[in-house]
Structure 1
Amino acid sequence: MSNLPSEPEFEQAYKELTSTLESSSLFKKNPEYKTALKICAIPERVIQFRVVWEDDKNEVQVNRGYRVQFNSALGPYKGGLRFHPTVNLSILKFLGFEQIFKNALTGLNMGGGKGGADFDPKGKSDNEIRKFCVAFMGELSHHIGANTDVPAGDIGVSPREIGWMFGAYKKQKNLWEGCLTGKGGTWGGSLIRPEATGYGLVYYVQHMIQYASGGKETFKGKRVAISGSGNVAQYAALKAIELGAIIVSLSDSKGAIISTSDQGITPEEVSFIADLKVQRKQLTELTTSDQYKSKFKYEEGARPWTKCGKVDVALPCATQNEVSGDEATALVEAGAKFVAEGSNMGCSQEAIGVFEANRKEKKGEAIWYGPGKAANAGGVAVSGLEMAQNSSRISWTSEEVDTKLKGIMEACFKNGLETAKEYVEPTEGEFPSLVAGSNIAGFSKVAAAMKAQGDWW
């Protein structure tokens, strides 16, 4: 990787994967997989384009658009579109690389990709965002399709933006097909899709808790710290509350709110926060609301990990590298037993090192870490189910989709668990490494498919 331009986020994702593959027995048992890794680390295709659009003052604006089509061994490229000023090729390559193995773990026929633009929706009118979506799809439409590449939403791209892009694709191509997921429920979208990443995260952690306790414990009574306050954080909070948990925190880019109530954050408060997000307002609004200001402590410029007191479960659900090494140590000291990522690469490499060292040293009393490529796979899993419904021209009920989602998350957990036992061989009393098991399971599946298709030999 040393001959590439500096791409820190992608390099971190690559090192995180390779460190677990190299420290396991995978390459000893399958030395030829080193060749597969070398080839898999380079995208099949990177598309970069300009997006020219007109603002409300009739002035021309231009942004950079991207689509990284990373790997199609298991199916059409699949991964979200992100509209945010920080978007660059390094971030999209990191997300696309992670997506390859996450999608493999779902068991569905999906390859890995990611895309977006350095467009900032904040401060833009609805009309300007619509114009940008149409202009963006003007180029992207040449490179996607139901059997080629099926993007979804991500940061800055909600079902509203998906709708505008879908309409533009349909007009340009004269095709009604599942070219995007995250669509509206009345025109091809899947029920449970908005909830899927958050729900799936909680289902995954549920299996961690049950395994660690020998089936004796659940979420009931557990103090759960969550970062973020968007879609993933909201639905993770709601599902955990439904299962009896006490939610002690949420956060946004400006700071964190810590519940001062014994019952934690309530579903009504989550609903209020969801409305704030729709209005693009900050969580500071809670501190000025007569209804809620007495129920929260606001920590300006801080993440919640060092501010919550005792914590049983930590769920980073905001963005990449949102748990540092020092914060990981603080979570260990706060008594956390389970950490699982609702965001992609939510924990820094230093934080993962802290968790994994603790897992080995303390064994049955350790903190146990669930990586995002397994723990937050629920969103793309239901996107895959949306693709299946579109192909069949049918719609499943909420119960049907939720049942399939639970099955997929259980399979993700068990696959990582059993693969870790096979290739990392935990000592007696030690929790298996879910990060190593998930990396090896996802990579091995993709590498085998690539070999079968002649991508390496």
Structure 2
Amino acid sequence: MHPRLQTQLDLVTARNPGEPEFLQAVQELMLSLSPIAGRRPDYAQWSVLKRMCEPERQIIFRVPWVDDAGEVQINRGFRVEFSSVLGPYKGGLRFHPSVNISIVKFLGFEQVFKNALTGLPIGGGKGGSDFDPKGRSDGEVMRFCQSFMTELHRHIGEYTDVPAGDIGVGARELGYLFGQYKRITNRYESGVLTGKGLSWGGSRVRTEATGYGTVYFAQEMLATRGDSFDGKRVVISGSGNVATYAAQKAEQLGATVVAVSDSGGYVVDESGIDVALLQEIKEQRRERLTEYVSAKGASAHHVADGSIWDVPCDIALPCATQNELTGRDAKTLVEHGVGLVAEGANMPCTTDAVEVLRDAGVLYAPGKASNAGGVATSALEMQQNASRESWGFEETEDRLREIMSSIHEQCVATADEYGDPGNYVMGANLSGYLRVADAMVALGVV
């Protein structure tokens, strides 16, 4: 890292103690900025980086609700509105026990540059709560969401901040959140949330977008080496929305997805994961992956311990959560001959893992590039809401594919321009950073 940037990273570290995830994301960005320290020193100055690393607004609030037993429960809600220089804050809500200010800030920071890469007029933000929807009844989830939105509604709007879903926030939760927003404001502002149901302002392909987009980006990477998904063996961590649709698209392109996971372990199915069965178990029945084995039969088995990355594959798509793929996991993947790793989740590879993969010559895509399909389609949903239009599935998927191809082209071109061909991390970080910095400097000190 350039000495000037190291000094600035030290200042950010001192300013944000006890926030490891956020500092990890900042460090990853700054490691990519060394080339501009000489060519664009004005953009490597502390006056710019200080604003880039400080959220415009951080909101923390109490969320009181009553469970089915009549007991009062208290959770903590968050919304970090990181940057609005390119448009209204845009980013998901995550409901999970691990949620804290460090995780929300890291997610919001990543979102700024991810959103910039799409080329669409959206800023970056993120939010959520340490509430765990798993095991809760629909009534409990509804009461929590209503309480959460009772506070959050003050801070959002289609021209201000537009949340969406993330881990633990799917169609059910978004429905309850939007219903409460409409009730409180007495306005039907469908553009205030994205990821909505098709019958109340949602966009086709939004459910599939993050998973599909990750695979489309990986497809572009493979094409640079004259390769494709056809005949490839794929392992995908997670079994939620992103993982499910990544598996679906990979199989449509001729690959065999042999393993998926959840918090209770992972399933290996050598005949190929049955995506329809996976959706039934995880989305409709809300059950664990062990039920997949019971339903599928002899071709599948469940592993409760160990790492899904022990399963040999040609392509690995980490689609679960941050820092899930470690340096040890990366070494195992390399030993088994992995050729490509594309992140479907946000920062699922540790810093050590990224170093191992790059040193081994593995094609590696950071999440801010490869999983940008979700927020890109959210922006398309906002566009449809604003114009009172509804696009067809094929039209929307074509737009998604074009956006992912454009992001890939930006990453490749920027890495080439700054002297490190094939470095998707540098390409993504510099492309996003320069676009945000241009707007930030143009708008003055605000």
The question of a shared fold, defined as TM-score above 0.5 by the shorter chain, is answered with: yes
SS in 1 for 2:151: helix
What residue number does 1:441 align with? 431
Name the CA distance, whole Å, in 2 between partners of 1:259 and 1:125: 31
| Per-residue deviation, residues 47-67 of structure 1 (Å, max 9, x unmatched) | 011111111222221111110
Query: Are the counterparts in 2 of residues 202 and 239 from structure 1 also a CA contact under 8 Å?
Result: yes
Equivalences for residues 178-217 of structure 1 within 5 A: 178-213=191-226, 217=227
Tell me if 1:271 matches 2:282.
no
Shift of 1:286: 2.6
What residue number does 2:413 align with? 418
Name the CA distance, whole Å, in 1 between partners of 2:332 and 2:148: 43
The partner residue of 1:227 within 237, 240, 259 is: 237
Equivalences for residues 121-270 of structure 1 within 5 A: 121-177=133-189, 178-213=191-226, 217-261=227-271, 264-265=272-273, 269-270=274-275
Equivalences for residues 344-355 of structure 1 within 5 A: 344-355=346-357
What residue number does 1:386 align with? 381
Name the CA distance, whole Å, in 2 between partners of 1:125 and 1:84: 16
What residue number does 2:5 align with? none
SS in 2 for 1:219: coil
**Matching residue's letter, 1:18:** M
Shift of 1:120: 1.1
**Matching residue's letter, 1:451:** V
Name the CA distance, whole Å, in 1 between partners of 2:268 and 2:193: 37
Name the CA distance, whole Å, in 1 between partners of 2:306 and 2:125: 32
Name the CA distance, whole Å, in 2 between partners of 1:302 and 1:407: 38
Name the CA distance, whole Å, in 1 between partners of 2:335 and 2:114: 30
Name the CA distance, whole Å, in 1 between partners of 2:202 and 2:307: 34
**Matching residue's letter, 2:422:** P
Name the CA distance, whole Å, in 2 between partners of 1:235 and 1:120: 23
The partner residue of 1:2 within 6, 13, 16 is: 13
Tell me if 1:281 matches 2:266.
no
| Per-residue deviation, residues 94-119 of structure 1 (Å, max 9, x unmatched) | 00000000000011111000001111
Shift of 1:292: 1.6
Name the CA distance, whole Å, in 1 between partners of 2:122 and 2:262: 31
**Matching residue's letter, 2:82:** F
Identity over aligned pairs, percent: 54
User: Displaced runs of 4+ in structure 1, greater than 3 A?
Assistant: none
Query: Are the counterparts in 2 of residues 159 and 184 from structure 1 also a CA contact under 8 Å?
Result: yes
Name the CA distance, whole Å, in 2 between partners of 1:275 and 1:88: 31
What residue number does 2:60 align with? 48
Query: Are the counterparts in 2 of residues 205 and 375 from structure 1 also a CA contact under 8 Å?
Result: yes
What residue number does 1:30 align with? 40
Name the CA distance, whole Å, in 1 between partners of 2:235 and 2:63: 39
Equivalences for residues 64-83 of structure 1 within 5 A: 64-83=76-95
Name the CA distance, whole Å, in 2 between partners of 1:324 and 1:2: 23
Shift of 1:301: 2.3
Shift of 1:20: 1.4
Shift of 1:341: 0.2
Tell me if 1:293 matches 2:297.
yes
SS in 1 for 2:425: helix
Shift of 1:274: 1.6
Name the CA distance, whole Å, in 2 between partners of 1:282 and 1:58: 28
Shift of 1:299: 1.8
SS in 2 for 1:53: strand
What residue number does 2:334 align with? 332
Of 296-305 and 131-140, deviating more is: 296-305
Equivalences for residues 43-122 of structure 1 within 5 A: 43-122=55-134
| Per-residue deviation, residues 332-365 of structure 1 (Å, max 9, x unmatched) | 111111110000001000001111222xxxxxxx
Query: Are the counterparts in 2 of residues 227 and 303 from structure 1 also a CA contact under 8 Å?
Result: no
Shift of 1:171: 1.4
Name the CA distance, whole Å, in 2 between partners of 1:167 and 1:259: 40
Unaligned runs of 5+ in 2: 1-11
**Matching residue's letter, 1:179:** V
| Per-residue deviation, residues 414-440 of structure 1 (Å, max 9, x unmatched) | 1011000111x13xxxx5100111000
What residue number does 1:432 align with? 422
| Per-residue deviation, residues 359-408 of structure 1 (Å, max 9, x unmatched) | xxxxxxx3110110000000000000000001111111111111110000
**Matching residue's letter, 1:350:** D
Query: Are the counterparts in 2 of residues 420 and 433 from structure 1 also a CA contact under 8 Å?
Result: yes
SS in 2 for 1:12: helix
Equivalences for residues 14-25 of structure 1 within 5 A: 14-22=26-34, 25=35
Given the two structures, how large is their TM-score scaled by the length of structure 2? 0.94
Query: Are the counterparts in 1 of residues 89 and 123 from structure 2 also a CA contact under 8 Å?
Result: yes
Name the CA distance, whole Å, in 1 between partners of 2:330 and 2:118: 28
Name the CA distance, whole Å, in 2 between partners of 1:303 and 1:446: 37
Name the CA distance, whole Å, in 1 between partners of 2:137 and 2:172: 13
Query: Are the counterparts in 1 of residues 75 and 130 from structure 2 also a CA contact under 8 Å?
Result: yes
Name the CA distance, whole Å, in 2 between partners of 1:108 and 1:455: 23
Shift of 1:300: 1.2
**Matching residue's letter, 1:409:** M
**Matching residue's letter, 1:199:** Y
Shift of 1:225: 1.1
RMSD: 1.2
Query: Are the counterparts in 1 of residues 13 and 23 from structure 2 also a CA contact under 8 Å?
Result: no
**Matching residue's letter, 2:237:** S
Query: Are the counterparts in 2 of residues 260 and 297 from structure 1 also a CA contact under 8 Å?
Result: no
